[in-house]
Chain A
Amino acid sequence: MTRVLRLGGLGLYYGLLLLPIYWMLNMSLRSNADIMGAFSLYPTDPNLANYVKIFTDEVWYSGYINSIIYVSLNTVISLTVALPAAYAFSRYRFLGDKHMFFWLLTNRMAPPAVFLLPFFQLYSTLGLIDTHIAVALAHTLFNVPLAVWILEGFMSGVPREIDEMAYIDGYSFPRFFATVFVPLVRTGIGVTAFFCFMFSWVELLLARTLTTTDAKPIAATMTRTVSAMGLDWGLLAAAGVLTIVPGALVIWFVRNYIAKGFALGRV
């Protein structure tokens, strides 16, 4: 690919990608009446009323905080349990390994609607309704398989000779894993962390089902913007803009994990 073609194509894609985002930003700075009234390329009378509403309405910003709490919990849990499991799938053959690996993914294959009720009943029996840990735990259902699959893929790219060398050099498994292996798969860890965050962040049904008030997430609050006059488009758009921020921060934090890859030297 010549450089011009490459940059031109990329620029075109980025531009197209940004259009709906820009439109959302546009809508967020206008009132509902303004949006529905006329087309305008940029807000002629921009105001932050929608944002103010969100920041001052306790229901809105607590929803924000709730989401951040359970999503962070979930990401940490998912990564923690997935790392050793992915290593096992990558390096070892054991009884039922292929079946187990595929079974994990099957947990992402069911349409959620009908499962919501039994989920509610299960967590209700355990007294976990309306807690952050409930949603965090429930989300591991689809995030842990994802994490294991992605991490396994990256781990399999690390030659097993590295492991063997470390054992010959006398490393214990925990020390090898923490100091040698994890840095080598940090690309996979970075991208996994982001995806766990993202999928948990946008998940609406389970989060709404398992919470009532204390742990209610932002996404659920957003579906309440239907009033007698219909949807409040401006408010929804502002909320949409705000929901991007935490995730953008996450990927910015893991950017070096994702982009730096690894240099298999000086082992």
Chain B
Amino acid sequence: MDKWEDNRAWFLVLPVFVVVAFSAIIPLMTVVNYSVQDIFGPGQRVFVGTEWFADALSDRRLHEALWRQFLFSGLVLVIEIPLGVLIALAMPKRGLGVPFSLVLLALPLLIPWNVIGTIWIIFTRPDIGLLGVTINGLGIPFDHTASPLDAWITVVAMEVWHWTPLVALLAYAGLRAIPEAYFQAARIDGASAWATFRYVLLPKLRGVLTIAILLRFMDSFLIYAEPFVLTGGGPGNATTFLSIHLVKMAVGQFDLGPAAAFSLIYFLIVLLFSWLFYQALQNVGQGERR
């Protein structure tokens, strides 16, 4: 089942290309431009070449933020992807449960990200928040403003609460799109639940899971508002992820040049790892999808 070879397909892709490139290319070029200059004020620029890049790459705090970021994204992926798939498998396929489940899953996704952080601040406070009071009531001393571990737990919990529904919704849609005949054939062939999962579900979900994994990796790697509102990056630097570091740095001394350079490095890191993920996922089925 090979694809048809036809360059006229470009016409179908042209609108997308135009629409996206319109907003992508010029700003990108501008940022690249900034990244190699030192800007003192309007009209006062000095070309500094790769100076900002070198600075950024040797910044020890950047390395620390980067490691924290990898840990965070790794945790997020390991928890959210399997959890989302399990939820999708458990969700009802027919009846009233369907719209109920869909709306319920949509709720966390629809709240603006700064509001999420805000709600969780109160939610986890040991004096006036439901979660904080409950946990401390159970005798566990929990304070995300004081303990780095508690802060991490809270941030990860908040992120999982917020974004697992995305994985679940994607996986659910993917499951619903599998024609009934595949399941019927598997039954006729005497396949066990595990065999059906492994030979029918997983292969058919591969496309959807690829998107889910890439999306969650990218978005969690770039995450800013929720953890910043919740912990401000603290206690200390405990939850200062990469974008929080970037903003701290850029806002601290508002300097477009270094900020632009950092942004590009940031972008390239996300690009590299996304690409690696993508290649790995393409090869998992050992058959090229494209």
Contacts and interface: CB of A to CB of B under 8 A. Distances in A.
Contact of B173 (A102, A152, A191): A191
Chain A interface main SS type: helix
Given A16-B161, A146-B215, A198-B109, A23 B118 contact: no
A236 B118 contact: yes
A198 to B, nearest CB: 5
B182 to A, nearest CB: 10
A176 B223 CA distance: 42
Interface stretch (A43-51, A53-61, A250-258): A250-258
Contacts of A65: none
A247 B166 CA distance: 14
Interface string A100-124: 1110111111111111011101100
Interface in B1-49: 1-10, 12-13, 15-17, 19-20, 22-24, 26-28, 30-31, 34
Interface in A227-242: 231, 233, 236-237, 239-240
Nearest to A199: B109
A95 B173 contact: no
- Interface range for B: 35 or more
A133 B118 CA distance: 30
A198 B204 contact: no
A98 B290 contact: yes
B118 A233 contact: yes
A68 interface: no
B246 A113 contact: yes
B110 A198 contact: yes
B263 A138 contact: no
Given A198-B106, A255-B98, A105 B214 contact: yes
B42 to A, nearest CB: 12
Contacts of A262: 177, 179
A18 interface: yes
Contacts of A35: 122, 128
B110 A244 contact: yes
A81 B173 contact: no
